[in-house]
Amino acid sequence: MTDATTTKSTATNQPTMANEPTLDTVCDRLEALTDRVEELETQLEHKDERIEELEDTVQHQDAFLDAVRRRAGETREMVTELQSRELEKNAHLQWKNVEPNIDTLDIEIDHLEQFTKDDGNRYARILGGDDPLDRGGEPALTPGDLLPIQQLARMDDDMLHSAASSKPIRLAAEVWQDHEQNQSRLWNQGCSGVREYIDAGELAQWLRHNEPGVSKEYSQKLASRTIDALIDLTKSRLYVKQKSRQKDGLSYKEQRVVLPEESEIPGETTLEADSPETADVGGE
């Protein structure tokens, strides 16, 4: 009885493995892993197939783009040849269409001129050539036809500040910009051979209002220098005369810059000799 009791006691004291996986559990897990591996392999095969499809698409697109480039190059060559021949026949072609091919035109590029017509569009032509089809109206003035003052006056503010070598030159250009407006703030209408004029005092006052930090004394000096720049940049189309003035019972001489009717300003029509008097310009 003792041995049996001892054996029973020993068996009772041995621990049991409650969480130990059974053979069925291991088989289930193995089967799930196998299914997952097969699923991943299938996804990988699909990715490989998709990559191959993309590679084929890229190859087709590259071939298509190469064909387009070749065709575009051939078309550009044809356009360039046609433009070259038409320009040689004195045609006036719109600049926006010629500019992309400017480096490949089969003509003397040095003789190609860019200009503006009455319709406001820019054109290209062989220098001095007349358009046989008369399109776009008459050619407007080219920059080379303009006076220096006109070239400066047609710049925007940033370009003008860069191009003007001195303050009086910039101010002279701004004064001429005012001249080219329909309703001038500075220029007075003249008569008896005078188209327009500005008195130095009026110019000095304008400078004080438009130039920051300009004192009354300095504005008078700056006005005189601006007038000198006007004379120079208009190539003496203007002239200066001394005008007698009276103020507070005192008489003094003041500069007056005058644009006479006889002066030819490129692109401008002068007044007729019998224009009605619109202002008194007076004498000495």
Residue 130 is predicted with a pLDDT of: 61
Q: How far apart are CA 158 and CA 282, in angstroms?
A: 39
pLDDT at 278: 37
Summarised one tens digit per residue, pLDDT across range 183-219 is 788 999 888 899 899 999 999 999 999 999 899 999 9
Return the H-helix or E-strand segment holding 156.
none
Distance of alpha carbon 121 from alpha carbon 136, whole angstroms: 8
Separation CA 156–CA 136 (nearest Å) = 26
Q: What ranges do the domains of the chain cover?
A: 25-140, 148-260
Q: Tell me which DSSP letter residue 217 carries.
A: H
* Tokens encoding 258: 């005058």
What is the pTM assigned to this prediction?
0.48
Closest listed residue to residue 205, CA positions, set 190, 185, 189: 185
Going 260 to 261 to 265 to 268, the CA torsion angle's sign is: positive
The stretches in the chain having pLDDT less than 70 are 1-19, 108-111, 127-143, 182, 248, 267-284
pLDDT number for residue 148: 92
* pLDDT at position 256: 93
